[in-house]
Amino acid sequence: MTRNDDDMLSTDAARSDEDEAPAGAGEPEDVTALILLTLDKAAAVEGKADVSLGRVLDSLDERGFGLLLLVLALPCCIPFLWGIPQVVSLPMLAVAFQIARGAHRPWLPASLRARRFSVERMKASVTRVHRYIGWIERLARPRLSAVVEGAGLRIVGALLLVPTISILMPFPGSNTAPGIGVAIVSVGLLEKDGLLTLAGLVFGLAWVVFLVTIFVLLGAEATSIVKEFTRGLVSGTFGG
């Protein structure tokens, strides 16, 4: 066999390996890497040290929903935090509604899309957040795509309305567990992981069902507990 024949065989083998490589082989392996890569690409396109929020979300297409939900859900995962979860739950509701309607990318007012931020500072924040969601990322991988695409994704958006409404309510235990559920869903959307998305939904919905059951069983006593809890929050926040 001549050297030319050897070269041709080597070239054919290399092409065969490329054809057999998985379609997502060049994609980041986890959410943190995906976001960091997206920030770098957005900065390269705009040629500046800061980028607009709209540019970043457009780069992620439908996965921009996952990024927005993750940013909004993280404060809700902190136990016994009041005020911030109720504020961020409103845009979370808007995002869930857009997913349910079948939007291809998140809609934001022009003023928010134009908001600019430092790429390096955002990358540092994303790296810090990785400490809290790294264990979820290690479980995530593309699977059950029907859940995170098309009609399945719209159903996910509709079901997300339930835990986000729970976060809006200033009741004991109504924020943290649903917030964790939404955070898990958001990672599932970013990673195109239908199984993880379902797990987050089940966790968030199960907790809401548990809370409703407790309130029904306690009856009037539950109302009294909520009043005392709310009164304590208000007095603690505004100094009596």
Is residue 129 within 8 A of residue 31, CB to CB? The reply is no
Question: Distance between CA 238 and CA 197 in Å, rounded?
Answer: 38
Residue 211's nearest CA partner among 181, 237, 240 is 181
d(CA 212, CA 45): 49
Q: Which of the four pLDDT bands, split at 50, 70 and 90, describes residue 195?
A: very high
Residue 201 binned pLDDT confidence (cut-offs 50, 70, 90): very high
Per the model's pLDDT, the better-predicted residue between 84 and 238 turns out to be: 84
Evaluate if residue 22 carries a pLDDT over 90. Answer: no
H or E element that contains 128: helix 119-139
Predicted confidence band of residue 29 (pLDDT cuts 50, 70, 90): low
Write out the two tokens for 201: 């939904």
* CB distance 183 to 135 below 8 Å: no
pLDDT at residue number 235? 58
- Pairwise CA distance, residues 164 & 120, whole Å: 31
pLDDT of residue 28: 55
Output the DSSP codes for 57-98.
Answer: HHHHGGGHHHHHHHHHHGGGGSTT--SHHHHHHHHHHHHHHH
pLDDT digits (tens, 9 = 90+) for 168-186: 887 767 788 899 999 999 9
Q: What's the rounded Cα separation, in Å, for the pair 153 and 180?
A: 19
Domain ranges within the chain, ordered by starting residue: 27-206
Give the pLDDT confidence score for residue 54 in this predicted structure.
82
- The 10 Å Cβ neighbour count of residue 169 is 16
d(CA 38, CA 119): 10
Q: For residue 7, how many other CB atoms are within 10 A of its CB?
A: 10
Q: How confident is the model at residue 236 (pLDDT cuts 50, 70, 90)?
A: low
pTM, whole model, 2 decimals? Answer: 0.71
pLDDT recorded at residue 209: 93
